[in-house]
Amino acid sequence: MSHESLNVERLAGRYGFLERTGLLPLPSKDGITIVVELSRLECATVCLPLLLLHSGTAVRIIAVSMTPDFPTEVLARQLSPEEPVILLPYVKDEYMPNQALVHIETTFAVLLEDSIMVSPGWLSELMWASFDDPSVRVVAPRSSTERGAGKKRLHFGTHLELAAHVSYSLGRHQGEWREVEVLTGSCLLFTKELIHRIGGFDASLQARYLMIADWCLRARQSGAKLALSDAVYVHAIHSLDKYLRTKDESKQSDGWQIYSKKWALEDIQQNSQDNEAHLVPPSESFNSPQSFIPLGKALLASPLVTAIVYLDEARDCDELKQQWVVAQEQQSYKNIRWIWIRDTLVDAASELPINESDVVITVRGEDAWLQALKNASVLYESEIILYLSTSILYEKRYIERVVKAITQGSADLIVSLSTEMEEAGVHLLAGGDSAVTLPLERVAYRGGIVPGVISRRKSTSGQLQLYPKASLIIGYIGDLSDSKGARP
C-alpha cells in the first residue's frame, strides 16, 4: 500500500474520515501528549523550543529527567507558565518514561529524546498511517537513530536547512509510509490504547533502542502494526544510547544478553545487531507471549480544583444543560468539583446530568446570589478555587494552565488577562478609588485563603468583579480563550 501512488480518491477518503470524526485540524481531536526524555540541558534548551513551535497548539508536553543530576530547575526558569510543559523530576530506581505513560490522556502520544530537532508539519504527517489503517498503532519518522529502512544520517548547518529539506521531502513523499517489523529510534508516535494493552518499556534491557524494539515487538504480538513514515525526517543531535554507553558499557552488553535470551536470538553477536533484521526474532519465538510491563506510579498528583460557575443572566433549562456539558467536556483538566450557582425561581438541579460530587445551587435575588458565590468555596477542601462565567468560551487548557501557574509559582491569586485587558495594560484594572479590581470570571486562587470582596461592576449589570485583599500576591497569565465568543 505504501508504494502506491497517492490518488485523489485516497486523499478524499482521508479528509472525509477526518471531517466525520472531528479530527480536523490535525493533530487530534483531544490533543496529543509528547513525552520528552531529558538527559542533556544543552540539547533541551535548543530542541524544546522547536518542539513547542512546530507541534501545534493542542499539545501537552511531559518532560522527564532521565538522570538524577539533570538541572530541572534551570530548565523550569526558561519556561513560562503559559507553555504546556510539565517537568517530572528524576525518581531513583524508576524508568521515567514509564512514569510519564501513566499520565497519557490523549488518543495519541509521542516519545522522543531531548536531542531531537523537529520542523513544521512533522507531527500531523506522522499520524497519516493510523488514519489510513486503524491497525497501525506505532509510527516513526526517519532519523539517524533508526536501524534498517528508517536509518537516514544527514548534516545541516542551520535549522533553516533542516526545515527546507523536510519541506522538500514532504512535497515528494507526503502521506507515504511502509509497514516494518521493528522500530528502534529516538522518536515514536503511538496510541494510548496500546499502552493499556501491552504496558510500558522493559528497563532491564538497559539500552534505549532495545527497550523500543522490545516494546514494538510486543505491540506486534498484540495485533498492532508498525509503520515508518517515508515523508518525515527528524534530526538527532546526539543519541541517548551513545551518551549512556560511554558511561557504562557493561550495562549495554547485559541489556543485549537479556534481549537476545528473551527473543531467542542467542546465536547473534552483539556487534552484529545494527541491522534491523538482527533484532527480529524467528517466528517460533515471536509467537511466545511476553509479559505485561507495569507502568510507573502516578507521580503527577493533580490538585483538586473547585470550579464555581455562575450564570450572569437568565437561561432556560435546555440551555443550562448544554452549558453544563460544554463546560465539563471542553476542559483537559479532569480533577474538578463543579459548583453551579444560579439566580432563578425554578430549581433545575434535578434535570441536570450532574455527578454525585457536584453541586447546583439555586437562589432568589442578587444578594443571595452574591453570598452564595462568596461561600461556595468552602464546600470542598480544594487546593485551587476558580470562577467561571457562562458568557466566556474558555480554551480547553485554561484550568490546566491556571493550576500550573499556581502550583509552580508564588502567587496567591492568578488572573487570566483578556485580549482587551492586555492591550489596555494591567494598570487599567485599578478603579477610581485606586483599589485594584479584577474580573471575577478570570480569577483563581489558592485554597484556604479569603480572596476579597465580590460585587457587581458599576459600569455594567452583567458582570462581576473582585476587590482582592491587599496582602495577596497577584500573578497574571496570558489568555487563550475566545472572550468574544459567548456560549449559546
For every residue of 437-476, DSSP letters joined together read -EEGGGEEEETTS--EEEEE-SS-SS-EEEEE-TTSPEEE
Mean pLDDT of 76-92: 84
The cell numbers describing 436, all together, are 485594584
How far is 8 from 221, CA to CA, in rounded Å? 34
More confident residue, 237 or 18: 237
pLDDT tens digits, 25-58? 455 567 899 999 999 999 999 999 999 999 887 8
The count of residues in the chain is 488
Residue 251 phi, psi dihedral angles, 5° rounding: -65, -35
How far is 188 from 191, CA to CA, in rounded Å? 10
Residue 433 has pLDDT above 60, yes or no: no
pLDDT tens digits, 119-177? 888 998 898 888 889 899 999 999 999 988 888 888 887 888 888 888 888 778 888 89
How far is 231 from 396, CA to CA, in rounded Å? 31
pLDDT tens digits, 59-73? 889 999 999 999 988
CB atoms within 10 A of CB 344: 16
